[in-house]
Amino acid sequence: MSYSSRSNITPFFAMEVMKEANKREEQGLPVYHMEVGQPATSAAGAVKEAAAKALVDQPIGYTEALGIPPLRKAIAAHYGREYGVDIDPARVVVTTGSSGGFLLSFLSLFDAGDRVALAEPGYPAYRNILKSLDVEPVGLPCGPESNFQPTPTLLDTLEGDLQGLLVASPANPTGTMLSPDELRALVDYCESREMHFISDEIYHGLTYGTEEVTALSYSDNAIIINSFSKYFSMTGWRLGWMIVPERLAEKIEKIAQSLFISAPALSQYAAVEAFNCKQELESYKATYVANRELLLREFPRIGLDKLAAADGAFYIYADVSHLTDDSMVFCKEMLNECGVAATPGLDFDPHQGHKYVRFSFAGATEVIEGAIEALRIWFAKR
């Protein structure tokens, strides 16, 4: 019996590292978790209160496939407040996490055999979801010289037709961002070639002195993917959203009805309050600010001095080529010998990732401090 080649995808190494780190913890050994991009904080208090109230007041049954109207209206209003962009709630699609948003967008935009350009390094689920749909992910090598981000000039180096481009700003794993002019140039590039433009904006809100802008500022044709997981600290609630051209909403609704029925109802009722919790969420972000400053100061002192510009998200992407030529082996040794769990760059870049490691600073500051000291001692012994 043969099985579909569409399921032949690479593992998500960050989750594999987390599994090994958990085993180490079960043995009573110290672990400094820097492998997963997950806030250490829970959802804001008002969100949890809204969830508790919904359990009493609401049936917690199926909702409309595109989401409950109050949440779609709240998301649309968010774009007016934060970006000055007027969004009709009819263009909002509530999804089962950003992952559901990527699946719905790829299914609605691309046919089997289409080709979609992605920056390398980049989030591995992009590649894997596209491959599972028989859509070809076309890796675009992006290094320090372009701030690990795509440019029109780099796109021109790719051979063959492209039906789409997916960008992330801030990006995972690098934390780098596109400037407003750079983002506009990529949107214009795609529109002039009738390519679909998908903007991963799930780390919006988590920027550090660098201006963030939505691709909707430059085109109503852009597909926006966002999530309650990162800034809103709601990873396990599995809730995200899309902003799509109105003409695409009905098509996505039909697909969502069959694949998901609806996003989790309890999460939707609770998330309406998320946009009213900025003060609490900014206090969470203050921890990331402190952690980022600590790592950018101390990493060069212990020998990690080639770092991507961590302008957003909560990652440090470090060049470790002076220490290893195999980031997978390096991360295993680092976990086993000093307890620091981080993700090999091969998760994000199959070609140059052997030279890089991603460290997440989404955890508590004491975890980051412990990791730095453990690495300091470990590097001194190498």
CATH architecture of 45-276: 3-Layer(aba) Sandwich (3.40)
Rounded to whole angstroms, the Cα distance separating 273 from 43 reads 10
Residue-wise pLDDT for 155-190, tens only, equals: 999 999 999 999 999 999 999 999 999 999 999 999
- The first and second tokens of residue 100, run together, are 């559901």
Rounded to whole angstroms, the Cα distance separating 72 from 323 reads 48
Residue-wise pLDDT for 96-133, tens only, equals: 999 999 999 999 999 999 999 999 999 999 999 999 99
Mean pLDDT for all residues in the chain: 95
Per this entry, what is the length of the chain?
382
Say yes or no: do domains 5-42+279-381 and 45-276 share a fold: yes
Output the pLDDT for position 17.
Answer: 84
Output the pLDDT for position 4.
Answer: 60
Output the pLDDT for position 51.
Answer: 98
Which of 3.40.640.10, 3.90.1200.10, 3.90.25.10, 3.20.20.210 would CATH assign to domain 5-42+279-381?
3.40.640.10
pTM given for the model? 0.94
Output the pLDDT for position 21.
Answer: 87
Domain boundaries, the chain: 5-42+279-381, 45-276
Q: Is the pLDDT of residue 6 over 70?
A: no
- 231: buried, middle or exposed (CB in 10 Å: 19+, 13-18, 0-12)? buried
Compute the Cα dihedral for 334, 336, 340, 345 and give only its sign.
Answer: positive
Compute the Cα dihedral for 241, 247, 250, 256 and give only its sign.
Answer: negative
Residue-wise pLDDT for 310-367, tens only, equals: 999 999 999 999 999 999 999 999 999 999 999 999 989 999 999 999 999 999 999 9
Query: Residue range 9-35: average pLDDT?
Result: 85
| pLDDT band (50, 70, 90) for residue 16 | confident
Output the pLDDT for position 147.
Answer: 97
- The first and second tokens of residue 287, run together, are 């921890």
What are the backbone dihedrals phi and psi of residue 201, each rounded to the nearest 5 degrees, phi first?
Answer: -120, 30
Rounded to whole angstroms, the Cα distance separating 38 from 244 reads 26
